[in-house]
Amino acid sequence: MQDVSANVVERISRDPFTRFLGIELIDLRPGYSRLSMEVTEHMLNFHGIGHGGAIFTLADAAFAAAGNSHGQPAVALTMSINYIAAAQQGKRLIAEAKEQKLGRSAAFYHIAVKTEEGELIASCQGVVHRKGQFQYGPKA
Amino acid sequence: MQDVSANVVERISRDPFTRFLGIELIDLRPGYSRLSMEVTEHMLNFHGIGHGGAIFTLADAAFAAAGNSHGQPAVALTMSINYIAAAQQGKRLIAEAKEQKLGRSAAFYHIAVKTEEGELIASCQGVVHRKGQFQYGPKA
Amino acid sequence: MQDVSANVVERISRDPFTRFLGIELIDLRPGYSRLSMEVTEHMLNFHGIGHGGAIFTLADAAFAAAGNSHGQPAVALTMSINYIAAAQQGKRLIAEAKEQKLGRSAAFYHIAVKTEEGELIASCQGVVHRKGQFQYGPKA
Amino acid sequence: MQDVSANVVERISRDPFTRFLGIELIDLRPGYSRLSMEVTEHMLNFHGIGHGGAIFTLADAAFAAAGNSHGQPAVALTMSINYIAAAQQGKRLIAEAKEQKLGRSAAFYHIAVKTEEGELIASCQGVVHRKGQFQYGPKA
């Protein structure tokens, strides 16, 4: 978590929905994040494989972490996800978000979701809007 | 739920992840669905508004319901979501999926997520791959 | 072209690339546009049908026209296109862009590309970034 | 162009719309392509920078080349593009498409558009539908 303020790490770690899904923050650096999630029984869809919404949420959490890593609030404008392979129950998935460009009012990310063995499950790209010059305070 | 077999309705209603989030199936017709979800406290993100992953999951559930409404298994290939307005805690959201084209091996959908008051929260479009001629059996 | 300033209409009509492809502006209102293009022989791809890039350009031109209709410069951040049916040579296509939300710094659009007979060819959605308070001048 | 049949290379090289825009095929291998295009005066938009449709077309041409590189016809189902930086007139752009997964009926690609100096202009991802077992004939 080098080069990211403790406030920002704490704030991102306390995200209610990602905690609800058991998503864990593995790495956070400016413009970069890596998070993991296990595909549990309640994350399946009616085909019996990992639900697209659960896989997306992991990717989205990585996107939000990377997007907010600079300390300036960033909100998602858009995300596109391609579902490349099915995620089986019990698998641990890793989402890695990489910043493609940090602009003044927008920033761009690519996010890959893979199994621990490295199989690509989903490919995503997203854009955030960076809000003003406001910084997260010491007690956000 | 007219014109959709009871098997298909039951199958879709039993989706583990959408049940986990309290998503309810309101309407299901061939190529059409409407589902609802309340933005609860554990669905918020670290900005304090509805998490993009929760909003996406509602849209994705509507997409999956409409895509599988014909009784032939359909799996998502891609989805794109634009986040148009923030969803506040306690709001009930409605996702409505409409089929744009039902092809032999692919089908296309547009999904809108709105509040009960009609404010547009997110706009999505997705494509499913329709798998073979297999039909859900009586005891799927 | 009601309720859109003559300057803006003229500016949009002079777009070099859309003129190069013979794209015509049919209607322009605040947050709304309709444009048309004929699929000519040089717009085909190596499968012998309308090239995805030509169809996209028509949709993108409608997106840009609607996004800039308010007189404040808007640049595209993202666009997603689903290819629903092939466009045959000689067909005239119509793209219609509708504003879903006009925000202060971002605006959201859905764009449908159809044949004159009403067959849906492509479905798109996009987001623009609205640049500052600068307005197009009288002699932009 | 190693490992790709001469028929396929010839077929892709003869694409009418990419020829119309002066797009050149630089490299083609199974699941991979690289193409280039100069941003000419007639490819500008009404803001005076490279038109989103022209940039998209270059990316789409790379996507189509990589998708059809295996000799089995593939048609685009979807594409998403994020516009990361403006492309100035006179710049030569390079699009590079990489296959993420080659499935039986679908295949997945990421496409980056950069200047010759390496600045990222646009990031795209797309999915093709692979049509049956038909192969391009010797004189396609």
3-state secondary structure D29-79: ECCEEEEEEECCHHHECCCCCECHHHHHHHHHHHHHHHHCCCCCCEEEEEE
Q: Which helix (H) or strand (E) holds D12?
A: helix D6-13
- Whether the CB of B88 is below 8 Å from some CB of chain A: the reply is no
Residue A88 DSSP class = -
Residue C69 lies in a domain: yes
Model pLDDT, residue A1: 72
Residue with tokens 């460009």: A101
Give A129's contacts in chain C (Cβ within 8 Å). Answer: 105-106, 129
What is the rounded average pLDDT of the residues D52-73? 97
Chunked mean pLDDT (size 10), chain C, 140 residues: 86 95 97 98 97 98 97 96 98 98 96 98 98 51
| C90, burial (CB in 10 Å: exposed 0-12, middle 13-18, buried 19+) | exposed
Residue in C with minimal Cα distance to A125: C78
Residue A67 lies in a domain: yes
Please give the structure tokens belonging to residue D68. 């059809």
Model pLDDT, residue C138: 41
Over residues B55-84, the pLDDT tens digits come to 999 999 999 999 999 999 999 999 999 999
Reported residue count of chain A is 140
Residue in A with minimal Cα distance to D83: A108
- Whether the CB of A9 is below 8 Å from some CB of chain B: the reply is no
Q: In this model, does residue A108 exceed pLDDT 70?
A: yes
Give D128's contacts in chain A (Cβ within 8 Å). Answer: none
Regarding pTM above 0.90, the answer is: yes
Asked if B42 contacts A16 with a C-beta cutoff of 8 angstroms, the reply is yes
Domain that holds residue D78: 6-130
Q: What is the DSSP string of B48-83?
A: SSB-HHHHHHHHHHHHHHHHTTTSS-EEEEEEEEEE
Nearest Cα to Cα of residue A114 among A136, A135, A91, A138: A91
Helices marked H in A14-134: 16-20, 52-67
| Alpha-carbon gap, residue B139 to B14, rounded angstroms | 13
CATH of the domain at C102: 3.10.129.10
Over residues D119-133, the pLDDT tens digits come to 999 999 999 999 875
Model pLDDT, residue C1: 72
Model pLDDT, residue C130: 95
What is the rounded average pLDDT of the residues A2-10? 88
ipTM of the complex: 0.94
Residue with tokens 């403006």: D86
Instruction: Say which amino acid occupies B119.
Output: E
Asked if C16 contacts D42 with a C-beta cutoff of 8 angstroms, the reply is yes
Please give the structure tokens belonging to residue D82. 């994020």
Q: Provide the shortest C-alpha distance from residue B107 to chain A (in Å).
A: 15
What is the rounded average pLDDT of the residues A104-115? 97
| Alpha-carbon gap, residue B115 to A2, rounded angstroms | 40
Q: What is the mean pLDDT of chain B?
A: 93
C-alpha distances in Å from residue D27, one per residue of D1, D6, D61: 6, 13, 12
**pLDDT tier for residue A3 given thresholds of 50, 70 and 90:** confident
- Whether the CB of C7 is below 8 Å from some CB of chain B: the reply is no
Looking at the 3D structure of chain A, how many domains does it have?
1
| D133, burial (CB in 10 Å: exposed 0-12, middle 13-18, buried 19+) | exposed
Q: Do A52 and B79 touch (CB under 8 A)?
A: yes
Q: Provide the shortest C-alpha distance from residue D88 to chain C (in Å).
A: 14
Query: Three-class SS of residue A130?
Result: strand
Please give the structure tokens belonging to residue C73. 């410069």
Asked if B133 contacts C113 with a C-beta cutoff of 8 angstroms, the reply is no
Residue C99 lies in a domain: yes
Over residues D63-95, the pLDDT tens digits come to 999 999 999 999 999 999 999 999 999 999 999
Helices marked H in chain A: 6-13, 16-20, 52-67
Model pLDDT, residue B132: 72
Residue B139 lies in a domain: no
Over residues B107-133, the pLDDT tens digits come to 999 999 999 999 999 999 999 999 875
Residue C68 lies in a domain: yes
What is the rounded average pLDDT of the residues A60-86? 97
Residue C97 lies in a domain: yes
Residue C136 lies in a domain: no
